[in-house]
Amino acid sequence: MKPKILIVEDEPAIADTIQYALETDGFATEILNSGGPALPLLKAEKIALIVLDIGLPDINGIELCKKIRTLSDVPIIFLTARSDEIDRVVGLEIGGDDYVTKPFSPRELAARVKAVLRRVKGDPSPAGKTVFSLDTEKCRIAYFGTRLDLSKYEYNLLTVFINRPGRVFSRDRLMELAWDEPDASMDRTVDAHIKNLRAKLKTIRPDIDPILTHRGMGYSLKEGL
Ligand code: CA
């Protein structure tokens, strides 16, 4: 059976374009032009992923995502017409898996859909499986076969990245995930630890920087290393 993608988008031209691209790539699709029916539909049908517009007529896509998260971990890719950073960060903070800014190419969106599905299915990402090897019992990480000498927070940070290659994490989110007592005012601490982490990785492979900086947004681990 083809995996079904739910498209929640009120602009018919955009919804149709997405539908065409995804069906060409072998997905089944269903379009909703408002957010209201999404929750009942999720309960009734098996949905592999949701493409969710933020600007919907009845409910904001971010609010809808929060509601969806109370009952399902279904992957969500946001569509946003606003290119400002706040929308993007907010979109990822509340449990979205990726976002695409309008105008976008339907091919690009289809590629993102496939990438998110691969990630969620836990297919070995090259970055996660071969470049890094994680020993969670001994709290050790090896990089290209060489064991890294990491502080507690460097270890925690790198583990967060390895478990979700490609995902952009804001500084606040990293603080929450890697620190015992998150403190938003310690923002720069994340930067300092990332800097040390990069330096340690660089001693092993000076030619590669696997941690990407997303200006105004945060950091991610490079995919497909
Ligand atoms: Ca819209």
Q: Which residue has the higher pLDDT, 137 or 194?
A: 194
| pLDDT at res. 93 | 62
> pLDDT exceeding 90 applies to what percent of the chain?
47
Q: Which range scores top for mean pLDDT: 11-25, 110-124, 148-162?
A: 11-25
What is the Cα gyration radius of the chain? Answer: 19
10-30 average pLDDT score: 97
Distance from the CA of 2 to the center of ligand 1, in angstroms? 27
Q: Which residues pair with 7 in a beta bridge?
A: 31, 51
The pLDDT confidence band at residue 73, using thresholds 50, 70 and 90, is: confident
| pLDDT at res. 126 | 44
Distance from the CA of 4 to the center of ligand 1, in angstroms? 21
For residues 116 and 81, the answer to whether their CB atoms sit within 8 Å is no
| pLDDT at res. 195 | 95
Distance from the CA of 153 to the center of ligand 1, in angstroms? 40
Distance from the CA of 105 to the center of ligand 1, in angstroms? 16
What DSSP element (H or E) covers 221? strand 218-221
Distance from the CA of 32 to the center of ligand 1, in angstroms? 12
Coil, strand or helix at 82: coil
DSSP H helices in the chain: 12-24, 38-44, 61-71, 85-93, 106-120, 126, 152-163, 171-178, 187-204
For residues 39 and 15, the answer to whether their CB atoms sit within 8 Å is no
Distance from the CA of 191 to the center of ligand 1, in angstroms? 35
Tell me the CA distances in angstroms from 15 to 8, 26, 131, 145, 168, one per residue in order.
8, 17, 38, 46, 26
Report how far apart the first and last C-alpha atoms of the chain are (Å, whole number).
32
List, for residues 158-215, the tens digit of each pLDDT value.
Answer: 998 988 888 888 888 888 888 877 665 566 789 999 999 999 999 999 988 999 998 8
Distance from the CA of 83 to the center of ligand 1, in angstroms? 14
| pLDDT at res. 85 | 45
| pLDDT at res. 31 | 98
Distance from the CA of 219 to the center of ligand 1, in angstroms? 28
Distance from the CA of 11 to the center of ligand 1, in angstroms? 6
Distance from the CA of 64 to the center of ligand 1, in angstroms? 13
Closest CA to 52 of 115, 84, 94, 23: 94
79-95 average pLDDT score: 63
Length of the chain: 225
% helix, strand, coil for the chain, step of 5:
45, 20, 35
Q: Which residue has the higher pLDDT, 116 or 200?
A: 200
List, for residues 42-65, the tens digit of each pLDDT value.
Answer: 999 999 999 999 889 999 888 898
Please say if the pLDDT value at position 124 is more than 70: no
Report the greatest alpha carbon distance in the chain.
54
Distance from the CA of 152 to the center of ligand 1, in angstroms? 44
How would you classify the pairing of strands 4-8 and 146-147?
A: unpaired
* pTM (predicted TM-score): 0.59
